[in-house]
Amino acid sequence: MSRVEAWDLCTVWGKETLRVKDRKWRVRYIRGLARKNWAARRHYEQGRQGTTAVTTKVHPGRTRLSDKDFDFHRVGEPKYFYFVASTERSGSTHLCTKFWQTGILGAPHEYFNFNNTMLEMAARLGARSLNEYLRRLFEVRTSANGAFGAKMHWSHLQFLQLAKILPEFPTAQWIFADRRDSVAQAVSFAKAVQTQQWTSLAEPQAGSSYDFETVLSWYKQLMVDKESWRRFFESAEIQPVNVFYEDFIARPDAIIADIVGKFGFPTEPRSQVVLPEISRQGDETNFEWVVKFMRDAEEQGYRLPSSS
């Protein structure tokens, strides 16, 4: 797939296209998605022309981390790169926000999430190609010490592979943000899908209700994605720094210091940035769902450990 084709794939918001391997059918599928998602494409084009912003469902009084307010002053080409590999609801947003706040670990965000963030950034930066997108992204999201970071889920990595972007980061270092309690992670995933509240910066768009089959399906998907990441690291001979959610919330400063030391990034100069506080979303409902799910799984003969 060429970069032009990959860019077109991104702009029609077609996550499903990544599963279409045959070129002929992929082209047909992309065209179908383009018709299906005409409003998304229109928002992208209008945003790129400066006539309106690409919209997402966020609280009017709050902001997106893709907003201009969180850009760094331009410092030129980045010298140091790293990626945060993750699965949904692994605490990766909290982790990346803490990295961002250091001023020396770039501004790690889902810059290759072709469903929303990538479109938002591309429209705001006026990028008309993947090359231009990368160049302009580096200009505004590289910290003063020359570090650039990005966070990605498994589908985002697939996009980078299709677009042949990964070879441009041969020296990139990797972190794998994981969560030991995979059942709690699946519960959080199922709940977020229903409410569309992916971070505390957004307001819930709908209510949520427990359903065993729904949680089970997301549990299985998380297991597939985690295994996919492990196979990728093994085949690419990458040894990522593993950061578990449960450890990070207990001692974030120590883990950040350890990562900075392992990566060898310069600790000066530091960029100044003030980010909105992102709070944990888990509540009593999450705990109740976990209990129900483990009970239902046992009753139906599933053996699902609470830790991966």
User: Which pLDDT value is given to residue 206?
Assistant: 72
User: Which pLDDT value is given to residue 272?
Assistant: 86
Dist. CA 151–CA 136, nearest whole Å: 17
- What is the longest distance spanned by two Cα atoms in the chain? 58
User: Which pLDDT value is given to residue 165?
Assistant: 87
User: Which pLDDT value is given to residue 202?
Assistant: 64
Both tokens assigned to 190:
């199922």
Helix axes 182-195, 212-235, angle to 10 degrees: 120
At 283, the amino acid letter reads: D
User: Which pLDDT value is given to residue 61?
Assistant: 41
CB distance 140 to 71 below 8 Å = yes
* DSSP label of 269: S
User: Which pLDDT value is given to residue 3?
Assistant: 56
Dist. CA 83–CA 190, nearest whole Å: 25
* DSSP label of 105: S
Give residue limits of the domains in the chain.
3-180+225-279
Task: Report, at the CATH architecture level, how domain 3-180+225-279 is classified.
Answer: 3-Layer(aba) Sandwich (3.40)
Strands (E) located in 153-297: 173-178, 241-244
pLDDT by position in tens, the chain (length 308): 455 555 565 554 444 434 444 444 444 444 444 444 433 344 334 444 443 333 333 333 446 888 998 999 877 789 999 999 999 989 899 999 999 999 999 999 999 988 778 888 888 888 888 888 999 999 999 999 999 999 999 989 988 888 888 988 999 999 999 999 999 999 999 988 888 766 656 666 777 789 999 999 999 999 999 999 999 999 999 999 999 999 999 999 999 999 999 999 999 999 988 887 766 666 788 889 999 999 999 898 887 764 44
